[in-house]
């Protein structure tokens, strides 16, 4: 069964079409990567799945419920780590955690156990009393992740969690995500870094609000290596995605002509 | 209590507790809430006084008789006037022109003789009319003194045919403070309340935390109430401060029900905080919210509340506008409760109007608060 389903998602911002019939599905317990350049529509797609923006067309389902009509049941089943800062800078690490736990009405004992574990695995325990605005970029992202995971969501949405994070924190973040997925959580994340695709169970390449490519990373690379478009002996995701983006641009130009 | 209601209350409490942390850590909030009203009340309470005392007055005594000196003593016997040296009418006019005196009382030669003969003995009062309000007050005070003096002496012109005893109820000394402090209190509460909440939701948008809030199960009403409650408590503290200052520094009495003053204050603050929330919901930006909040609270509560200008003296269109200005009802309620006395019965309509405004504005703020980023 799919934990996330994006069905023909369409959204316009004025004259700009941010989502153009985007469709994909994420089975339960998988780590799904939404890859694309800046402005591809990744953030809009994640916001649509989180119910933060209204859709002009299509349907988004999370944990089997329609996001548009699911209300708080949908929100209780998902955790979100937005791209931009989303925490309270004047509140400490512990206070931010306590606030979000209270929004999800977590019992006190449950909160104590959960926050202790999350502070432990994110290595934020020594900084529990530090204000959020005094954390480094990597620590801030980990705190945002911890806040989103407190209530044990079925689905975790992360919008470019590794942008602006140093390589060590980045590696730790990926390790954490794999740990949560191993526990049964479904994770969808967006990234502009093509090389991060191989860390996902499945990836989707998004361009101008449309899906260009979707599949398991290994299978995608194998297919590409056998295709005439590949001019390298050991192709990378970067070359694969760039080749597909160029092809999409050529197709659009032909269409325009 | 159902688990749904329990969750509602827990989320409201979570929002309120977070807001308390923000307030404690932001000195600006505490300044707006507590220091600003105190400073403003002291400034406005003293600065907006219409009372005039020790008016510089020159007496040009052209008669130099016992009767003329008696009249001068009667004038300076009240604390309303202070003597400025002058010899004759010409010198008195010079003092007026130089601004050393605001009024001159010219007693002509032969004043005593005419009085003794039982004839009218007019004196002349010259008043600096460049400040119309002060000029009117001087004329009123001199007229009262001359009438009183003439009554005891007999022989002044224009002695009233009937003895009218005038009693000013509730503010016998006609002190401005008694009139102004309740009005200023409403004005200050309005500004501080709107400014406090105008910033709070706009700040959530600006710092990006609204995205995280919307992704959580917290509802719009829970956010609005959670943000309202701490500021309501702060606003009640403000009201207590302002009332305490009014009674101690400005000697404003409280003849009516003190609990009713706080009930009126509570309803008024709820409405004004709701107005701030509505501004914040619409603005999504702290700078715009501050400006819109200040404008939407300052102008109506200053000019359309009856604080400075009686509502009955306004053009009909402005009178109609005052109906939707909550400060109007608080000013009336505070003046009634503090100066005239009484309780619920005398301010029931004011309370009803304040309640209606609070309910409507909070409903509007909640409805306009869309759970969408775009």
Query: Is residue A24 located within the same domain as residue A125?
Result: no
Name the CATH superfamily housing domain B55-153.
abc type-2 transporter like domain (3.40.1710.10)
Domain boundaries, chain B: 3-48+175-368, 55-153
**pLDDT > 80? residue B121:** no
What total number of domains does chain A contain?
2
For residue A124, give how far its alpha carbon lies from the nearest alpha carbon of chain B (Å): 20
**What pLDDT does residue B157 have?**
46
Do residues A198 and A140 share a domain?
Answer: no
* Residue B174: pLDDT over 80: no
* B213/chain A closest Cα distance in angstroms: 9
Cβ atoms of residues A22 and A8 within 8 Å: yes
**Full domain range(s) for residue A92:** 88-152
Please state, in angstroms and rounded to a whole number, the distance separating the CA atoms of residues A139 and A145. Answer: 10
Instruction: Flag whether pLDDT at B337 surpasses 60.
Output: yes
List the A186-191 sheet strands across, edge first.
A78-81, A155-159, A186-191, A31-35, A202-207, A210-215
- Boundary residue ending a domain (A152, A176, A194): A152
CB of B217 within 8 Å of a chain A CB? The answer is yes
Which SS3 state, helix, strand or coil, does residue A92 take?
Answer: strand
Is pLDDT of B156 > 60? no
In a domain? residue A59: yes
Between A9 and B202, the more confident residue is: A9
Q: Per residue in B67-102, pLDDT tens? A: 888 888 888 887 788 888 777 778 888 888 877 888
Verify that A54 and A9 share a domain, yes or no. yes
Residues A23 and A56 in one domain: yes
Do the chains contact at B11 and A102, CB–CB below 8 Å? yes
Q: Which residues contact B370 (CB under 8 A, 6 or more apart)?
A: none
Q: Are residues B60 and B88 in contact, defined by beta-carbon separation less than 8 angstroms?
A: yes
Same-domain check for residues A52 and A96: no
Tell me the CA distances in angstroms from A29 to A185, B210, B219, B298, one per residue in order: 5, 28, 29, 56
Can you give the pLDDT at residue B100?
Answer: 83
Give yes or no for B284 touching A (CB within 8 A). no
A140 and A108 both lie in a single domain: yes
Q: Kindly state the percentage of chain B with pLDDT values over 90.
A: 28
Domain holding A202: CATH number? Answer: 3.40.50.300
Distance in angstroms between the alpha carbons of the first and the last residue of chain A: 42
pTM of the predicted protein model: 0.79
On whether any CB of chain B is under 8 Å from the CB of A84, the answer is: yes
Contact assignment for B372 to A78 by CB distance below 8 Å: no
Contacts of A53 in chain B (CB under 8 A): 372-374
Which one is predicted more confidently, B183 or B155? B183
Tokens of A226: 């056998």
Question: Do the Cβ atoms of A90 and B25 come within 8 Å?
Answer: yes
Q: Domain check: are A34 and A57 in the same one?
A: yes
Find out whether B217 and A100 touch, Cβ atoms under 8 Å.
no
Residues A58 and A159 in one domain: yes
For residue B1, the model assigns a pLDDT of 57
Number of cross-chain residue pairs from A and B with Cβ atoms under 8 Å apart: 81
Query: B370: left (phi > 0), else alpha (psi -120 to 50), else beta?
Result: beta
CA of B18: which chain A residue's CA is closest?
A99
* ipTM score over 0.85, yes or no: yes
Q: Is A14 exposed, middle or buried (0-12, 13-18, 19+ CB in 10 A)?
A: exposed
SS (H, E, C) B51-109: CCCCEEEEEEECCCCHHHHHHHHHHHHCCCEEEECCCCHHHHHHHHHHCCCCEEEEECC
Looking at the complex, does the CB of residue B4 fall below 8 Å from at least one CB of chain A?
A: no
- Residue B155's pLDDT is 45
Are residues A72 and A181 both part of a single domain? Answer: yes
Pair (A157, A139) in one structural domain: no
Regarding whether A178 and A67 lie in a shared domain, the answer is: yes
Same domain, A73 and A157: yes
B219 contact residues in A (CB cutoff 8 A):
72
Does any CB of chain B come closer than 8 Å to the CB of residue A109? no
CB-count burial class (<10 Å; 0-12, 13-18, 19+) for B62: middle
Query: Where is pLDDT greater, at B152 or A120?
Result: A120
Quick check: is A140 in a domain? yes
| Position A18 in a domain | yes
Tens of pLDDT, residue by residue, chain A (257 residues): 799 999 999 999 999 999 999 999 999 999 999 999 888 999 999 999 999 999 999 999 999 999 998 888 899 999 999 988 889 999 999 999 999 999 999 999 999 999 999 999 888 999 999 999 999 888 998 999 999 999 999 999 999 988 878 888 888 889 989 999 999 999 999 998 888 888 999 999 999 999 988 999 989 888 888 877 777 666 788 888 888 888 888 887 887 66
């Amino acid at each position: 069964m799919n934990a996330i389903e994006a069905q023909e998602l369409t959204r316009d911002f004025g004259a700009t079409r941010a989502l153009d019939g985007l469709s994909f599905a994420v089975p339960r317990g998988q780590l799904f990567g939404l890859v694309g350049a800046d402005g591809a529509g990744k953030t809009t797609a994640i916001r649509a799945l989180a119910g933060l923006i209204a859709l002009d067309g299509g349907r988004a389902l999370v944990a089997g419920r329609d996001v548009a009509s699911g209300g708080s049941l949908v929100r209780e089943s998902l955790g979100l780590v937005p791209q931009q800062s989303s925490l309270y800078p004047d509140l400490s690490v512990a206070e931010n955690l306590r606030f979000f736990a209270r929004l999800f009405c977590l019992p006190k004992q449950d909160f104590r156990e959960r926050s202790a574990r999350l502070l432990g695995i994110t290595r934020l325990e020594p900084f529990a009393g530090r204000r959020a605005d005094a954390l480094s970029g990597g620590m801030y992202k980990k705190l945002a992740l911890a806040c989103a995971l407190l209530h044990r969501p079925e689905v975790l949405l992360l919008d470019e969690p590794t942008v602006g994070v140093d390589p060590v924190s980045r590696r730790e973040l990926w390790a954490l995500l794999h740990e949560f997925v191993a526990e049964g959580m479904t994770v969808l994340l967006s990234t502009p870094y093509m090389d991060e695709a191989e860390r996902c169970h499945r990836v989707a390449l998004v361009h101008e609000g449309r899906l260009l490519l979707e599949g398991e990373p290994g299978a995608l690379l194998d297919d590409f290596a056998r295709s005439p478009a590949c001019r390298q002996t050991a192709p990378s995701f970067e070359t694969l995605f760039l080749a597909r983006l160029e092809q999409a641009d050529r197709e659009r130009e032909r269409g325009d002509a | 209590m159902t688990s749904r209601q329990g969750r509602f209350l827990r989320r409201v409490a979570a929002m309120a507790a977070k807001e308390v942390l923000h307030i404690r850590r932001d000195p600006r909030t505490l300044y707006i809430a507590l220091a600003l009203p105190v400073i403003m009340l002291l400034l406005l309470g003293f600065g907006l006084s219409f009372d005039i005392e020790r008016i510089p007055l020159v007496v040009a005594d052209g008669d130099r008789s016992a009767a003329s000196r008696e009249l001068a003593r009667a004038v300076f016997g009240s604390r309303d006037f202070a003597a400025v040296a002058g010899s004759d009418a010409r010198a008195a006019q010079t003092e007026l022109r130089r601004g050393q005196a605001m009024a001159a009382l010219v007693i002509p030669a032969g004043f005593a003789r005419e009085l003794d003969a039982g004839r009218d003995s007019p004196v002349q009062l010259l008043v600096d009319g460049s400040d119309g309000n002060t000029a009117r007050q001087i004329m009123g005070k001199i007229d009262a003194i001359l009438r009183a003096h003439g009554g005891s002496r007999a022989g002044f012109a224009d002695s009233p045919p009937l003895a009218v005893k005038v009693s000013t109820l509730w503010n016998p000394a006609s002190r401005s403070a008694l009139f102004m402090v309740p009005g200023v209190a409403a004005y200050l509460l309005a500004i501080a309340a709107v400014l406090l909440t105008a910033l709070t939701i706009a700040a959530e948008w600006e710092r990006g935390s609204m995205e995280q809030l919307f992704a959580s199960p917290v509802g719009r009403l829970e956010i609005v109430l959670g943000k309202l409650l701490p500021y309501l408590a702060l606003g009640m503290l403000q009201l207590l401060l302002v009332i305490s200052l009014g009674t101690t520094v400005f000697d404003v009495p409280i003849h009516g029900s003190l609990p009713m003053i706080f009930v009126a204050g509570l309803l008024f603050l709820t409405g004004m905080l709701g107005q701030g929330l509505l501004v914040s919901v619409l603005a999504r930006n702290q700078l715009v919210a501050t400006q819109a909040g200040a404008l939407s609270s300052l102008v109506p509560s200053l000019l359309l509340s009856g604080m400075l200008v009686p509502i009955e003296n306004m053009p009909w269109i402005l009178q109609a506008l005052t109906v939707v200005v909550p400060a109007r009802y608080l000013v009336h309620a505070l003046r009634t409760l503090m100066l005239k006395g009484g309780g619920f019965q005398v301010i029931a309509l004011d309370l009803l109007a304040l309640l209606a405004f609070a309910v409507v504005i909070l409903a509007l703020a909640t409805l306009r608060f869309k759970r969408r980023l775009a």
